Amino acid sequence: MFGFENRYGEPSGMNIRFIIGVIIALVSIVGYFSSREYNPVTKETQFVSLSPKQEIALGLRATPQLIRQYGGMHPDQNGQAIVDKVGFRLVKQSDAAKTNWQYEFHLLGDTRTINAFALPGGQVFITAALYSRLKTEGQLAGVLAHEIGHVVARHGAERMAKSQLTQGLTGAVAVASGDASATQIAQVVGELVNMSYGRDDELESDRLSVRFMAQAGYDPRALIGVMEVLAQASGGNRQPEFFSTHPNPENRIEKIKAAIKEEFPGGVPSNLIP
């Protein structure tokens, strides 16, 4: 009745679509919440869609394409050696050493795009455009520590799990309603939810970078210098690509200062690398 059965007493097409939609939604939700894991470094329970081996494999598979996309590897071997030295010092002398990610650091040849990013599993990238603007070894450590934080916190795997959940729920809406406009609305809402989580990820990586820098002997206040470099770069003709996925530097500095104060309540020691 009420349009759910036809005159022969059989379920209508609308009812069948609704049932299938509910099943799809339930499968998506159960799949998401069954992917729960504890992260010993961040001390948080998170939902991830990949095993560590899958994350490493995914990062390695995507690396060649990203290198091509950003102009290949930078020809400055000395610059690459410095990036490697700082990156591996951070990994070996911080809580990042408690993980088994396969780290590699790449200085990309792109001299116009101001960016740094990491792939799941340990592949870390910085463009020549950003590298050339950094003034100290500590600032480079700040950039790399932030990206290492993404790897350690498994933000990529978290985003994939959220994306799969969003796609499943969007599919459920499409099947249940048969209304393209409803599907489009659900997609937009899903994108906004995932974007907000992405910004939380960035702030968590800032906190982790303060910890990793301090543990590796770098002055975490250099990370504030990185934010200032990025803010200055935003005044140019080319908006840093960094801002497409990262909160505005001015909005992060106060939180970084708070993390530094928490790490060093008695003040930052004078013997750290600036």
pLDDT at 255: 92
Tokens at 127, concatenated: 């463009």
Q: Which helix (H) or strand (E) holds 62?
A: helix 52-69
**CA distances (Å), origin 160, targets 49, 51, 67, 260, 272:** 6, 12, 22, 30, 37
pLDDT at 45: 80
Domain membership flag for residue 59: no
pLDDT at 155: 84
Residues near 119 by beta carbon (within 8 Å), at least 6 away in sequence: 58, 59, 62, 63, 66, 125, 156
Domain membership flag for residue 233: yes
pLDDT at 54: 84
pLDDT at 38: 83
Q: Which domain holds residue 219?
A: 36-50+130-263
Q: What is the pLDDT along the chain (274 residues), one digit of tens a residue?
A: 334 455 555 555 556 655 554 555 455 455 445 556 887 888 888 767 778 898 898 889 889 998 999 999 999 999 999 999 999 999 999 999 999 999 999 999 999 999 999 988 999 999 999 999 999 999 999 999 999 999 999 887 777 756 654 454 344 344 444 554 444 444 444 444 443 336 788 889 999 999 999 999 999 999 999 999 988 887 644 445 454 545 566 678 999 999 999 999 999 999 999 9
Q: Name the nearest CA neighbour of 152 among 261, 52, 226, 32.
A: 52
Domain membership flag for residue 216: yes
Domain membership flag for residue 274: no
Domain membership flag for residue 209: yes
CB 247 within 8 A of CB 197: no
pLDDT at 186: 46
Domain membership flag for residue 248: yes
Domain membership flag for residue 270: no
Residue 128, SS3? helix
DSSP state of 271: T
Report the predicted TM-score, pTM, of the whole model to 2 decimal places: 0.74
Domains: count for the chain: 1
Domain membership flag for residue 200: yes
